[in-house]
Amino acid sequence: MKKKRSLLGITLLASATLLVACQSKPNSTTSVEKSSTKTSSSKTDDNALSEEKRKRSLTKFYEEFPAEQAARYQGTIDERSEKAWNSNQPNIFAGQASLKIHDDYLENDELKKLEVKIDGYDESTRRLKLTVTNHYDTTLRGTRFSNNLYDYGTYFTLRSYSTTSGRAGNINIMQLALADDLEAGKSITLEVLPKYYQDRELGFKNPKLDSKYYLLSTDYSAELWDKTANEQVSEDFLLSNQANIYIVPKLTFSKFPSTAPSDKELKEILSKN
């Protein structure tokens, strides 16, 4: 009888121990899950930028990186041109004149959504016609004016190479700022007058047309964009003699696009520049 009671006690003790062990397993699993979640959260935080740093990084990305990449691109082309010149070879762009604008040198597609097309030159008005299109999903900010100061928002530079000179020289066709905001998906037509004619009363000024842009700089200060009857223009500067026209954008937004680089992508981009 005593043996039976002893066996029963051992059985009950074993059952109780097993029950306690089974009940403790979910808590153990929960602890592991909490630990895993904490570790994962810590890893995510490693890639996160503070709001202020993200804003600074995106501003640098959109406003400064294109110019930095353009400088490297120009250096490469100038080196090729110089090498050809020193070897008594023809202009590297001879026979390649074109008004097509490209942005192939830009290393990130996110910087390529400001499109500019040259629609032609109007000899009668001395104006170069451009179509500017905003392919971002947010507004490109134009120029602000306050306290007698201009705060230029979005602007772009068009640079090219002459096809007629012995050495392909880099030319600043224009650096142009948008006067007004340009909404997402919208286009604007600009008719740009050379600086020489803007500064003189020669009958070509048009306040309505000229209020849409600011011509910040150009190598065409005393030149026309292209051939015009009874006026002498340097062959090297004629737009019809230009090749490899490329755009250097400086992009300013009312708010950053939804397609802007992630924090992780920004850190990778910044580390390479």
Q: pLDDT for 158-202, tens place per residue?
A: 999 999 988 899 999 999 999 999 999 999 999 999 988 888 888
137-168 residues labelled b (16+ CB within 10 A) or e (exposed): ebbbbbbeeeeeeeebbbbbbbbbbbbbbeeb
Considering only 29-33, 143-147, 215-219, which range has the smallest mean pLDDT?
A: 29-33
44: confidence class by pLDDT, cuts 50, 70, 90: low
Any domain includes 44: no
Q: What is the pLDDT of residue 147?
A: 72
* For range 53-75, the mean pLDDT: 97
Any domain includes 9: no
- 36 pLDDT higher than 60: no
- For residue 247, what is the enclosing H or E element? strand 242-250
In the chain, how many domains are there?
1
Contact 74, 245 (CB under 8 A): no
Bridge partners of residue 189, in order along the sequence: 131
* For range 102-109, the mean pLDDT: 97
Any domain includes 151: yes
Considering only 36-45, 58-67, 115-124, 164-173, which range has the smallest mean pLDDT?
A: 36-45
- 88: containing domain: 51-250
* For range 203-231, the mean pLDDT: 90
Any domain includes 169: yes
